[in-house]
Amino acid sequence: MQICHKDPTTQQQSTIVIPTFRWQEHQAHGDTQGACPVKYIKICHKNAIKNTVETIMIPETQWPAHQAHGDYKGTCMSTVPQDIPEKQITICHTDRENGKKSTITINAKDWPAHQAHGDSKGACPRTQPNMQKITICHFDKSTGKYLTMTINATDWPAHQAHGDTKGACTTPDTPNDGNNDTGSAPPTQYRPECWEH
């Protein structure tokens, strides 16, 4: 039998099929017989073939697909497509090749990718201040070894994003536990020329 089931945790409704003998337990927590009602929303839809826009009603579940190609919620203001400018933000971008910082403007939706490699919101400082340094345990993909490195604190998000940890490595072959924010004494057989940068 088809019912409209309400998830007790998320309160989201979904249409499911259950054996008839299970109906009473579902009815007891507020489910109803039949398919869930479909919630419709009004959007301004871009028709790429006709190069026009039109106001249409769609099931709310279809909204992400429409939003992805530039439709917007609400009534169209005309029948001619109008580009809706994307929100822009200013960031301090670090060049991955040379480490040089420059102020750039990007679409706000592109911020997560920039944040992941260590960029910061806002314009770059006119002069580079003395950077705070931190010690990290960095995994070198080319050698398969863990390396103790000192980096600018502003570069930490990029290293953290690919699994590096704060603090010195335990040995050249093993990472630390990630909880050592200040570093630790190196092993007795420590040879900086072999593994520390």
Would you kindly state where each structural domain of the chain is located, as residue ranges?
A: 2-33, 40-73, 88-121, 133-195
DSSP track, 38-86: PPEEEEEEEETTTTEEEEEEEEGGGHHHHHHTT-EES--SSSS----PP
Cβ atoms of 152 and 118 within 8 Å: the answer is no
Q: Residues 6 or more apart from 195 whose CB is under 8 A from it?
A: 145, 146, 147, 148, 169, 172
What pLDDT does 20 receive? Answer: 93
In whole angstroms, how far apart are CA 175 and each of 12, 106, 137, 145, 161?
43, 36, 6, 9, 15
What pLDDT does 157 receive? Answer: 85
Could you list the pLDDT tens digit for every one of the 197 residues in the chain?
999 998 888 888 888 999 999 999 999 989 999 999 888 999 999 887 788 888 999 998 888 888 877 788 999 887 665 555 678 899 998 887 777 888 999 887 777 778 877 888 999 887 655 678 899 998 888 888 888 988 888 888 888 877 889 999 886 555 555 544 433 333 333 434 444 44
Residue owning tokens 């989201």: 12
What pLDDT does 190 receive? Answer: 40
Q: What is the C-alpha radius of gyration for the chain, rounded to an integer number of angstroms? A: 27
Cβ atoms of 40 and 57 within 8 Å: the answer is yes
What pLDDT does 23 receive? Answer: 93
Task: Tell me how far apart the alpha carbons of residues 28 and 89 are, in angstroms, rounded to a whole number.
Answer: 51
